Chains A and B, each alone.
Chain A
Amino acid sequence: MTAAHQEILSLDVSALSRLIRERKLSPIEVTDAYLARIELTEPKLNAYLTVTADLARQMAREAEAEIVADRWRGPFHGIPVALKDLCCTRAVRTTAGSRILADYIPDHDATVWTRLREAGAILLGKLNLHEFAAGASSNNPHWGPVRNPYDLERIPGGSSGGSAAAIATRSAAATIGTDTGGSIRIPAALAGCVGLKPTYGRVSRYGVIPLAFSVDHVGPMTRTVRDAALMLKVIAGHDRNDSTSNAAPVPDFTRGLNEGLRGLRIGVIYELSRDLEPAVEASFKAALDLMGEGLGATVEEVSIPYLAMSAAMTARTMVVRAEALEYHERWLREHPGDYGDDVRRLLEQGMAVTASNYVRAQRTRVLMLTQSESALEDFNVLACPTCSITAPKIGEERIQLPNGQLINVLAALSSFTAPFNATGQPAIAVPTGLSPRGLPISIQIVGRAFDEATVLRVAHAYEEARGPLPPPSI
């Protein structure tokens, strides 16, 4: 790792892109810096399942030739990225973090990769995850656990754990994650990066191995909010290969980023800001103070009971269990031993969801969205902590809340994120600081359906005022 490499790795996508466009930096140098970094961090981190070094170098040479010939494609031209290994890549192994698909070589690309590739991005590799994206730890029984860059004995969260860890350690400039109950935002929170779950339908799911069709989302994981806005612009938009993708025009998400918070109203969700680890509570309060007193937003509490109601939460899990079982049914019957215990349990639970309860659960999602969008008539965005706790240790299954209650780690991690998979609204996780133990903490900002622009504007204003999170020492 040379000093020049270090310099390159210190830049976010926006800065890298400017230098590449001005031909002050070559995509080949940038790619070499990231490949060298991967070699250094991977033995400790296990974020990558496949590193496509030869392909990356070839793509970098092609990008450089085009840019030299004045054929600059846009902000992702020459930028090295990596994909959660749930996204199909033609001729590149796509495992979904499973044993079942350990040797699967797709004959097609996920639309999200098609769009990045056409924008000139370079593929560094495929990232480790919770098996089939069906959990929040990324403690993968087949490929080994992804480790949290801030404490290697702890989980980075999941299911997009490799995507978050790669950003935090600067072993990718930007990554793609997927989110069915918080799988972009939870690892972003636990590993200290930005994670955006766009509105359902904003980004095509074509070619992404499904967990639950109705509530799966695909989105960017990045070092900064500006990078997330840039990446969303590339990957968003209608796709005729995904019939649930939305035809709404895709705005330039960077346009309003610098408009600040003055005049905006932020609703703090009462039900989703209780029973917090003390460090999370302090950091969340400091973030609200900064956005209110510091940046001029009006910050007020708002109650949205359906988002935390246990029956309504069960509605989302019923949808996930039933849809996941439907997709996995044949594999489960033929290869039950090839699943990790927790994923097999989730699928078996799907057998107990009746058809009528599945439909009722889907109708309940409409009520949850109605109540949440009603709250947004009075506020521009909603806010809550992304997770109520900091990163648990690898293998830890239960933790104790400040009120003494012992709770399941998955529930503790996902109870503030999963409601927005049920509603489909856009939600971003942004770091707010480190705990006394040095573990990242994060705030979640939620917007009206298809109003990612306001979510990004608020997140960017906060991020600029707070300053960057200290990087991990790995």
Chain B
Amino acid sequence: MAELTPETVMRVAREFYDYPMNAETAAAVAKIADAMLTDARRLSALGLDGVEPPFSYATMVAEAERLRRTLSGS
């Protein structure tokens, strides 16, 4: 796997987040990003097939209801 370069990180920070990142920070983030990508690949091997993420629709409905209440002031 190719390593993520500090230049790529700087570009992502600038173009995705409008955030000017200096070269030293970008080098540190690139290192962490590589470690995260490696670990994320390992996670696939744990047996995630069929496992739903813990994002619940019940929470979404409850949150919409809360916002509706807040907006209507009731």
Give me the interface of A with B, judged by CB distance under 8 Å: 214, 240-241, 243-244, 306, 310-312, 314-315, 317-318, 329, 332-333, 336, 345, 348-349, 351-354, 357, 359-367
Closest to B62 in A: A243
B37 partner residues in chain A, CB cutoff 8 A: 357
Min Cβ gap A298→B in Å is 31
Q: With A318-B40, A366-B51 known to touch, is A352 a contact of B66 (CB < 8 Å)?
A: no
Q: 7 nearest interchain CB pairs?
A: A352-B33, A243-B62, A314-B39, A311-B42, A243-B63, A311-B39, A357-B40
A329 partner residues in chain B, CB cutoff 8 A: 17
Task: Kindly state the interface size class of chain B when it binds its partner.
Answer: 35 or more
Q: With A311-B39, A352-B4, A352-B33 known to touch, is A364 a contact of B48 (CB < 8 Å)?
A: yes
Contact between chains at A351 and B52 (CB < 8 Å): no
Contact between chains at B54 and A348 (CB < 8 Å): no
Contact between chains at B59 and A352 (CB < 8 Å): no
A354 partner residues in chain B, CB cutoff 8 A: 40
Report the Cα distance A364→B17, complex, angstroms. Answer: 27
How many contacts between A and B, using CB within 8 angstroms?
Answer: 98
Among B17, B40, B63, the residue within 8 A (CB) of A314 is B40
Contact between chains at A362 and B54 (CB < 8 Å): yes
Known: A310-B39, A317-B36, A333-B19. 20 other contacts (CB 8 A): A214-B54, A240-B69, A243-B63, A244-B59, A311-B46, A318-B40, A349-B29, A349-B32, A349-B33, A351-B12, A351-B17, A352-B9, A352-B32, A354-B40, A357-B36, A357-B40, A359-B53, A362-B55, A364-B48, A367-B47
A314 partner residues in chain B, CB cutoff 8 A: 35-36, 39-40, 43
Among A240, A310, A332, the residue within 8 A (CB) of B66 is A240
5 of the cross-chain contacts (CB-CB < 8 Å) are A240-B66, A315-B39, A329-B17, A352-B33, A364-B48
User: Within B23-69, which residues are at the interface with A (CB < 8 Å)?
Assistant: 25, 28-30, 32-33, 35-37, 39-40, 42-44, 46-48, 51-55, 59-60, 62-63, 65-66, 69
Min Cβ gap A346→B in Å is 10
B55 partner residues in chain A, CB cutoff 8 A: 362
Closest to B38 in A: A311
Report the Cα distance A317→B46, complex, angstroms. Answer: 17
Report the Cα distance A366→B47, complex, angstroms. Answer: 11
Report the Cα distance A332→B21, complex, angstroms. Answer: 11
Report the Cα distance A364→B42, complex, angstroms. Answer: 11
A312 partner residues in chain B, CB cutoff 8 A: 43, 46
Q: Is B18 an interface residue (CB 8 A)?
A: yes
B28 partner residues in chain A, CB cutoff 8 A: 345
Min Cβ gap A462→B in Å is 32
Min Cβ gap B1→A in Å is 14
Contact between chains at A318 and B54 (CB < 8 Å): no
Contact between chains at B46 and A364 (CB < 8 Å): yes
Report the Cα distance A361→B44, complex, angstroms. Answer: 10
